[in-house]
Each structure stands twice: as structure tokens, then as C-alpha cells.
Amino acid sequence: MKIKFFLNKRKVELDVEPDKKVLYILKDLSVNSVRKGCDEEGKCGNCAILLDGKLVNSCMLIAPQIDGKNVTTVEGLSENGQLDGIQKAFIEAGVVQCGYCTPAQILAAKSLIDKVKKPTKEQIADAFEGVLCRCTGYKQIYNVFEILKGKSAKSFEKEYKKDYRVVGKLTPKIDAEQFVKADDAFVEDYVPKDALHLYILRSPHAHAEVVSIDTSEAEKMEGVEYILTHKNSPKVFYTQAGQSYPEPSPYDQQVISKKVRHIGDRVAAVAATSLEIAKAAAKKIKVKYKVLKPVFTIEDASREGAPIIHNRDTSIDPLQVGADPKRNIVCRNSGGIGDVGKGLKEADATVDGFYSTPFIQHTPLEPHTAYGYMKNGRLVIHTSVQTPFHVRRILAHILNLPENKIRIIKEKVGGGFGAKQDCGIEDIVGTIVYQSGKPVYYRMTRKEEFTVRTRPAMFMKIKAGAKKNGKITALSVETKADVGAYGPHALTVPMNGCSKTLPLFTCENMSYKVTSYYTNNVVSGAYQGYGVPQTNFAVQMTLGKLAKKLGMKYEDLILKNIVKKGYRLEILKQLGEGREGLAQKLSSCGLEECIKKGLKIYRTWRNKTSGANGEVVQGKGMAIMMQGSGIPGLDSANAVMKMISDGTFMLYIGGADLGTGEDTVAAKIAAEELGVSQDNIAVTSADTDTTPFDKGSYASSGTFFTGSAAYKAAKSMKERIIKATAKILGVKPSRVKIFPGGKVGTASRKLSFKELAMITQSGSGCGQLITSGAFTTQVSPIPYAAHFCQVSVNRRTGMVKVDKYYAVTDCGIPINPALARGQVYGAVLKTIGHTFYEALEFGKTGKCLNDNFTNYPIPGIKDVPEFFEVDFVEVKDPITPYVGKSIGELSCDGASACIGLAINDATGIWLDSWPFRPDRVLKELEKQKS
């Protein structure tokens, strides 16, 4: 049918199928801003547009419904390249993180502001409730409206580090403009029309063998260009885990294997000229399965005679990590310091507890996407990934290619949270591109996201004992993890849970034991926090019980036992990642300061009773936490810096910004060191051809590792600048100084950076100034935090509401305060979702029952606590001059325990498994009554 409409005031006339969704009509018109965050369910709202000024989802509209109407998208907001006020306010408020949801949020703001000039908080929440964001925690959206009222960000956002000019100061995220305008950014924005589309046929059985597979009918279909099955799949075993080599994860996977081990495991992949054709062809593939008995629980997996999920005679473990595949054990590890038995005997009070946490999905709003092609005999993949260099290595291994025949380019990532810390789809995309020689695009559906990567289900037994005076004498953690069908991160996730909880305490008798099991459940892996949110929940709840038993306040017990600066963390020697770890003396520790700062506010909160018959009771809780800043002795990062001819700089880092602001952090650090402003540094990152090696973005390493590499490159650039200038001026280098604003020289004779660049790069100069920074370390600074909350529990409905939440963090220096704060808001709100309702549910056959946003809800703006504040304590750490510690993962570690202890404070019940659903709360309350 013919339709006419106005797209951003320009008339468009089209002849389209009447059932064509407006989302696709706009995509075909190269409108990037309509982002598809769900399977067109109307739930994510990231595809929103304004239709005659009203906010609607473009996946919920078809062609005839825009006929004759006005369609507005963010592409139409900036005129002549000038940003609109709302776009500017979004940047200034620091509420742009990965940027995937940003266009829809901006339109939500516009639809509101066009109606109401000074909206109330309620009106703002109302307007934004249909746009999901997984990064920001929504809180800073309210600041956007303050800025629109004329306030400056400085009036509500603090700056840090008085003596610095760029670090600790409010500066825009360097790629924010790209996102608010919806310029090309994500893989999906770069895919040419001729790319083949990939559809993956997935197993309907949890455990089966493919007896035969017949693709002949599918191959005959017009438009089908390549089909991959186990028959023509590479036979190489590998792990998808994006970890430094040799990985502490078993090589237990093939691109497509003859055996399927979970519902959703790959059976075949069809590449065709359209997704519809690929799908239709996949339906014609005839597969005969020999269905095997599945196992869905650790009990069943470890039973005598249980079905064996991995017959790993053929596979290899690069690191021997206690695997026993015949008994479905992926890996094991144990160790400790002192003697826990003795510690328990010495204790005046002991408690033990058993805690469990479910499979949880990351739900980045942008799903996994990759686009690959062959160019000049080389395999090139544009992808949304956290670990491009590991992906290159893994692919080289799978395809038996030299690494220099492969190029991985990380495009902007619309949220990762660990889901993309793997070679999760590049393995299959790369294989098909390489074997077929054709360009291939693959984008996972929301439903598929739920089957390929989750957080493992963990079961934790904790024992603790303390003296009457509160001194903890023993603490032990025993974790069993159900990692599902394959073993990426199977050892390190539960191990990390121990290595980031036990070292919080000065206790001398501590032990841990972890065992991970294969089951036929969904595959698990890395997830922001990496085992710590779960284990810390278990440990802190146990200590909460211990405090009660001792008749102490929780905060007093904690304050008595925490580590301080200078303390030697002996336990870390035991807790390596599949090898010997490194004991570390604490070079800084802001934990006590965080607690004390938080307590000042926490102590002013009064618990009240309200509602009919006093049905609503309040309670308070707190939790402490730590994380790492990368993995010392194991990971590394590199940076290269060039001065270009006008005296500005190019900074090349291998680090993979996933929307959290790593590129900005690196630029700020380099700018600080060189005495220039942030926009003098342009960053190119995470392209295996053009940037140097970096482990990738995981283990909270972005700021410390990648930032330190940038720092070293900048420092070396500074030295080069001084040397070159000294030579030009004919003075000793010791007399030359760099002056702020891009000048260098002596007190009497100065060159601008531009002059210097022109001289050095001229035929008679010393050549372009190029430096590099390589960063490895044996120690890494540990970030700490204390979180505090107050909750209301409705005794009649079991519903719990978080009224107040206060997070105080020692991240060293908040290099970019607004972004750092946004990281905390986002992480906390996500964890509130995990605590209350996020959990994958499975039917009897192992099928996931809630693999969509309709049935797997994630927090929206209305779930933000009324009082939600984030503060920092500034802590100097000699390891890291102005590089700072990590923050993103750390902030996921506290909410569950904090809330669990608050619920106990309010009602006396103990909740020991997530999610704290109202029916469970009510059940516990009833148990308590009887």
C-alpha cells in the first residue's frame, strides 16, 4: 500500500506491505534511533517514537497507522548539527551510559516537556515508566529536568580532587553526543543490505544426541546460502570464556556439537538473504534426536550413575582445576588460612546458614550482535563484545588461523554486564563467514539471550563464629554452583565470591570450598559482580544472625572485624584463579570511612509502623563489600599515544568500553597528565588491528588497567615532549616544563604543542611523537563500599518496598563523578531487581518459562527508591596516582544483604534465597506466627 507521512518534518512517500511494522519502515529509512530491546513485545520501549507528539512504540504500529501523520525521532531534534536542549541536558546530567535506550528516553522527556514545562517527580516517573534502561538506574533522569529548568550540573553533582583539572571534574562522556543524536554507533547501524542473516536452529531437548540431520530441503530454498551443522562444524574444543590464556575454564565446547546439552543448544545455523528465509529454511531441516535423560539439579548431577553430560575424553583443560566430568564436576577448589575447626571451638557463639541464588539474566538492552565478512583473505568481525582480543585468539584456535588473519572490531556496546565477556556468537558467525566466504549478520532475539548466558545458580553454606566481644574467630564458605550445560567461568565465579568476601575481615581462621557442576540447565558465566553479590549476601546474612546471637548491633560487629590499610591479605594467596594467588598488603582502604560516613545518615532514619492495624513495618539494614580492580599477575593492558600535527593527541587503547565510560576515563587520565583539556584527546579503542592488546573489560579492570596503560602512555608522551622541546630549544631537559593549556618550554621560551608537532613532524624533526604504555601489575587497589537501606514490609501482603538507599563508596577517585555515580545507581537498582523478582523459571523439561520481558521483569523508573543517594570517600592509593579503583561491579554486591537484614530488622524473619517474592515473605511471616 502507498503511505505518506512526515518524518522529522520531511515528507516521505512509500509503497509498503500494510503489515510492515513502523520499526522496520524507519530502520529501512536509516533511522537508527528506534532500538529494538525486546522481541517486539511493547515492553522495552526502546523503539519509541513520537506520533503526532505522543510517545508510542514503533514495534506496536504498522504502516497504515502512520499514514498522514507526523513521526518524530531524535534524528529530528538536532538542527544543523546543533543539539536540542534536552539532548544537551542528557549529556550534562551524565545519564547517558551505553546509549542504547537514550533516544527513547529523550523522546519520553520531550513528550513530557512539550506538555508540562516544570514537571513534578511523579509526572517524570509516569513519562519514563515505559522505557527500560539497564545501565543508569534512572535516578539522574530527574537531573535532566533540573538542568532544563536552568540549573547547572554543578549544583547537584560534586567534583573531586581539588588539585586536578580534568580528573574528578564534570566533563561530558566522550561519546555521549553520538548517542543522543543516534549517530551510527552499534553493530546494527553498520550492517549493509547485502549481508546474509543468520538463524540458529536450537535444541528442543535438554539432553540429546543428534542421530541424523538432513538439510537437503532447506538447501533447496532460494536465498539460502550456507548451512552449518555438526557435520561441517570445526571439531576443535574451546571455551567461550573471555579470560586470559590459559583460561581456568574447560575446553568443553564445539561450534556445533553432535550432542545437545540444554534447551536452546545449537543444532544448525542457516545463513540466508533474509531472516524470514533463514527461519523458514531452518524449519525444513529434519533432525532425529536420541533423547537422553536430563539432569536439572546438583543432587541429580552428582548422584551415583547420573547421566554424564560431558564425555570430555577428547577435550582439554588448559589449567587443571579439579575437573571430574564423569561425575559432572566441572571443577573444584578449596583452601584457607588458620584452622576453622579451632576457630569455631574458640567461639562463644556460632551460626551456620544455607543460602541460594537462582539463574539470572543480564538483559543488556542491546542483545548480542555481530557482523562479519572476509576482506583480502582476512576474517573481519564487528561485534558487541567485552573481550575483542580474547575473541580473536579463540577464533584463531577454532579456525586454525594465524591471529593476524583475524580482525575484531568492537563497536559501541549496548550494555554487557558480563553477558558479552565471551566469544558468545563470534565463534559461529566467524566460522560461517570463514567457511562460506560471505558476509553474515547475526542478532540474537531477547528469547535467545535467556538461553545462552546467565548467572549460575549458587548454593552456599556459611559457618561463622565469634567471641562475646564480637571478634570473629572463624568464617567458612562452601559453594556449590550449578553452571548449566557448559563451563565458561565455572571455577572463577564461585571462587571470586570467596576471594571478595573473606578478605573483608581480619579473621584468622577462614576456609572456602567450591564445586561447580554440569547440569542440562542454561549456560551460565560472568555477570557483573562475578559471584560476589551472591556470596556476600550469604556471608553478611550469616554475620547478621551472629550479631543477633551475640546481642550486638550489626554495625558494631562489622566495625570490629574489618580490615584496614596496611593489613596483609594472606587469604588471597590461596584464592588464585586456578593457580597460586598473590597475598597483598592493603595499600589503601576506605571501608571504615565509608561505614562511618554512611552511619551518620543511617542513624537518623527512624523505623515507623503504618497502615491499617499497623500492617506496614519498617526496618533498616546495611552491608559492606569489596571487589578487585582487575586481576593482578594475570591480566594486562596497553595503550599507544600519538601527537598529531596540530598538537592534539590520538589515544589508542585495547580496552573495550561497554557504555560505562572507559574511553572517557582513559582520555581524562591522559589529559590530566599532559595538562590539556579532555577534548584534546581522541580515543580509538578495542580494534584488534589498530589498538594494542588489552585483556578486555571484565573483572572491574577498565579504570585501573586500561586507565593505567593510558597513564603510562601519556607519561611517556610527556617525557618525549620534554626531550624533544629541550633539543629544539637547545636547553637541558630538566629545565623544560609542560604548562597547562598545551604549552611546553622554559619560563622564558615556550612552544605550543602545535608548534612542537609541526617541528617534530617536519623533515628536519625527530619524527612524530609516538609513545606506548604497557601495564601489568602484581597488586591492584581494592575498592570498598558500605550500603544502607530502609525498607517497608507489608505484613499482610508480604510486599517489600525499598524506601531509602544510601551507598558510600571508596573507588579511590571518582574520575568522572557523574558517570561513577550513575554506575552505582545502575548496579544497585539492578540488584534490587535480582533481590525481589528476577529469576529464570524452568518447566519440567528444562524449558525456560519466562524468557521475555513480559514474564521476566527488570526494574523501571518507578522501582527507584524515594531516597536514593550515592556518596564517595576520596582515598589516596599509592598504587594508582590518579587512576582510581573500580566501581561498577562493586556496587552490585550489597543490596541483597542490606535488604535482607532490613527485612529481618522489620519483622524478624530471615530470607535465605532470592528472589524475595512476596509469597515467600508471607510464608516466612506465617511460619514465624505458628
Partner 1 sequence: MRFLKIEKLSDLKTVREKVTFLAGGTDIYPLLSDGFLENEIFCDISGIENLKKISIGKKEIKIGALVTFSRIRQNSVLSHYAGALVKAAGEVGSPQIRNRATIGGNVATASPSGDSIPALFVLKARIKTNKRTIPVEDFFMGVKKTVLAKNEIITEIILPKNKMFSDFVKVGPRKALAISKVSVALAVKKKNNIAEEVLIAFGAVAPTVVRARKAEQFLTGKIFSKDNISKAAEIAKGEISPIDDFRSTGKYRRSVAGVLVARILEKAI
Ligand X SMILES: Cc1cc2nc3c(=O)[nH]c(=O)nc-3n(C[C@@H](O)[C@@H](O)[C@H](O)COP(=O)(O)OP(=O)(O)OC[C@H]3O[C@@H](n4cnc5c(N)ncnc54)[C@H](O)[C@@H]3O)c2cc1C
C-alpha to C-alpha distances, 923 to 56, 910, 918, nearest whole angstrom: 40, 11, 8
Residue nearest ligand X by beta-carbon distance: 42
Contacts of 357 (CB under 8 A, 6+ apart): 455, 457, 458, 533, 534, 537, 913, 914
Which positions from 642 through 701 interact with ligand FES, judged by CB under 6 A?
A: 659
Whole-number Å distance between alpha carbons of 858 and 864: 12
- The residue length of the chain stands at 930
Is 42 among the residues that bind ligand X (CB under 6 A)?
yes
Residue type at position 129: E
Does residue number 43 form part of the binding site for ligand X (CB under 6 A)? yes
For cell 618525549, name the residue: 720
Segment near ligand FES (CB under 6 A), from 133-141, 236-244, 552-560, 598-606?
Answer: 133-141
Instruction: Locate 687 and state its grid cell.
Output: 580494534
Task: Name the minimum Å distance from CB 315 to ligand X.
Answer: 43
Region binding ligand FES by CB under 6 A among candidate stretches 30-38, 308-316, 690-698, 792-800: 30-38
Scanning 95-103, 203-211, 350-358, 684-692 for contacts with ligand FES by CB under 6 A, the matching segment is 95-103
Binding flag, residue 544, partner 1 (CB under 8 A): no
Q: How far apart are CA 35 and CA 153, in angstroms?
A: 28
Report CA-CA distances (Å) from 294 to 300, 302, 455, 533. Answer: 9, 13, 20, 29
Task: Map the footprint of partner 1 across residues 910-929, applying CB under 8 A.
Answer: 917-919, 922
841 binds, among ligand X, ligand FES, partner 1, none (CB under 5 to 8 A by kind): partner 1
Q: How many residues bind ligand FES (CB under 6 A)?
A: 26
Task: Copy the grid coordinates of residue 142.
Answer: 530527574
Q: In this chain, which of 24, 45, 372, 463 binds ligand FES, going by CB under 6 A?
A: 45
Q: Which stretch binds ligand FES (CB under 6 A): 131-139, 140-148, 738-746, 750-758?
A: 131-139
Q: Which of partner 1, ligand FES, ligand X, none binds 54 (CB below 5-8 Å, type-dependent)?
A: partner 1
Residue 860 binding: pick among ligand X, ligand FES, partner 1, none (C-beta 5-8 Å cut-off by kind): partner 1
Of 85-93, 538-546, 553-561, 858-866: span binding partner 1 (CB under 8 A): 858-866
98 near ligand FES (CB under 6 A): yes
Closest CA to 828 of 863, 853, 781: 863
| Minimal distance, residue 66 CB to partner 1, in Å | 11
Smallest distance from partner 1 to CB 486, Å:
25
Q: Within 13 Å and on the Cβ side, how many CA atoms surround 239?
A: 29
Closest CA to 540 of 795, 839, 893, 132: 893
Residue 152 class from Cβ within 10 Å (0-12 exposed, 13-18 middle, 19+ buried)?
exposed
Cβ closest to partner 1, residue 556 vs residue 841? 841
**At 634, is the secondary structure helix, strand, or coil?**
coil
Q: Which is nearer to ligand FES, 456 or 659 (CB)?
A: 659
Question: In the numeric block, which cell numbers belong to residue 256?
Answer: 556445533
Q: Decide if residue 172 touches ligand FES (CB under 6 A).
A: no
**CA gyration radius for the chain?**
28
Report if residue 48 touches partner 1, rule: CB under 8 A.
yes
Question: Distance of CA 332 to CAs 415, 791, 907, Å?
Answer: 31, 38, 38
**Shortest Å distance, C-beta 852 to partner 1:** 10
CA triple 141-146-150, angle to 5 deg = 140
Instruction: Please say which residue, 45 or 415, places its beta carbon nearer to partner 1.
Output: 45
Q: Detail the DSSP E strand segments found in 119-265.
A: 196-202, 208-214, 224-229, 259-260
For ligand FES, the closer CB: 55 or 538: 55
Is residue 475 within 8 Å of residue 540, measured between CB atoms?
no
DSSP 3-state percent helix, strand, coil across the chain (nearest 5): 30, 25, 45
Tell me the per-residue interface mask from 769 to 798 with partner 1, x by CB under 8 A, - otherwise. Answer: ---------------------------xxx
Closer residue to ligand FES in complex, CB, 37/865: 37
Q: Is 829 in the site for partner 1 (CB under 8 A)?
A: no
* Residue span binding ligand X (CB under 6 A) among the ranges 41-49, 393-401, 636-644, 708-716: 41-49
Burial of residue 318, with CB atoms counted within 10 A of its CB: 0-12 exposed, 13-18 middle, 19 or more buried: middle
Residue 33, sorted as left (phi over 0), alpha (psi -120 to 50) or beta, turns out to be alpha
Residues that bind ligand FES (CB under 6 A): 36-38, 40-47, 57, 59, 97-102, 133-136, 365, 415, 659
Residues that bind ligand X (CB under 6 A): 41-43
Residues that bind partner 1 (CB under 8 A): 1, 18-19, 21, 39-43, 45, 48, 51, 54-57, 59-62, 64-65, 108, 111, 126-127, 129-131, 612, 796-799, 833, 836-837, 841, 849-850, 853-855, 857, 859-863, 917-919, 922
